[in-house]
């Protein structure tokens, strides 16, 4: 589904996407279009795009073609989803210890919608860190 979502092809476009959006959360998926994890995450993001279009916009960035942010955002995983609001990186506590990003593929589109809504509500209140509606820590997975 990566061909259905807009791609950003250089660092300037990524900066403009983050800077230019005043009222909506900017969701950026950093990764590769050919990676199976990214393919699954792209499918989830595409499924929710119409339902969250009033308060979020989604972009895809290939970390090989645009290596500008790899060190800054520590983009070492095959697939990474990050959230920005009014030129500010919004961190989310998912229970995993890494509050900067989601670096795995979610299984349910409704989970992603819930996360995006939580990020949007918290960011509008001026919070830089929001708490996820679901705990993704591994202690509950048996």
Instruction: At 84, list the tokens.
Output: 């920005």
pLDDT at 141: 53
Q: What share of the chain in percent tops pLDDT 70?
A: 96
Q: How open is the CA angle 31-123-65, to the nearest 5 degrees?
A: 20
pLDDT at 140: 53
pTM of the model: 0.90
Residue 96: other Cβ atoms inside 10 A: 16
CATH superfamily of domain region 7-131: Glutaredoxin (3.40.30.10)
- Residue 28: which of 39, 36, 17 has the closest Cα? 17
Q: State the 10-residue block means of pLDDT for the chain, 142 residues long.
A: 81 92 93 91 93 94 89 88 94 86 89 94 92 77 47
Cα R_g (the chain), whole angstroms = 14
Where are the chain's structural domains? 7-131
Cα–Cα distance, 63 to 39 (Å, whole number): 14
Convert the pLDDT of each residue in 9-49 to its tens digit: 998 999 999 999 889 999 999 999 899 999 999 999 999 99
Residue 84, CA distances (Å) to 3, 45, 125 in order = 22, 16, 14
Residue 60, CA distances (Å) to 71, 87, 114, 127 in order = 18, 17, 20, 25
pLDDT at 45: 93
């Amino acid at each position: 589904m990566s061909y259905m979502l807009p791609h950003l092809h250089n660092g300037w476009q990524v900066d403009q996407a983050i800077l230019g959006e005043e009222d909506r959360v900017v969701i950026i998926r950093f990764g590769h279009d050919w990676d199976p994890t990214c393919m699954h995450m792209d499918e989830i993001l595409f499924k929710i795009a119409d339902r969250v279009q009033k308060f979020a916009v989604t972009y895809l960035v290939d970390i090989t073609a645009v290596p500008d942010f790899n060190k800054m955002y520590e983009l070492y995983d095959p697939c990474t989803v990050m959230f920005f609001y009014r030129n500010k990186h919004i961190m989310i506590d998912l229970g995993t210890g890494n509050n900067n990003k989601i670096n795995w593929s979610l299984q349910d589109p409704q989970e992603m919608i819930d996360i995006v809504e939580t990020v949007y509500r918290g960011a509008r209140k001026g919070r830089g860190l929001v708490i996820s509606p679901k705990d993704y820590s591994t202690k509950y997975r048996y």
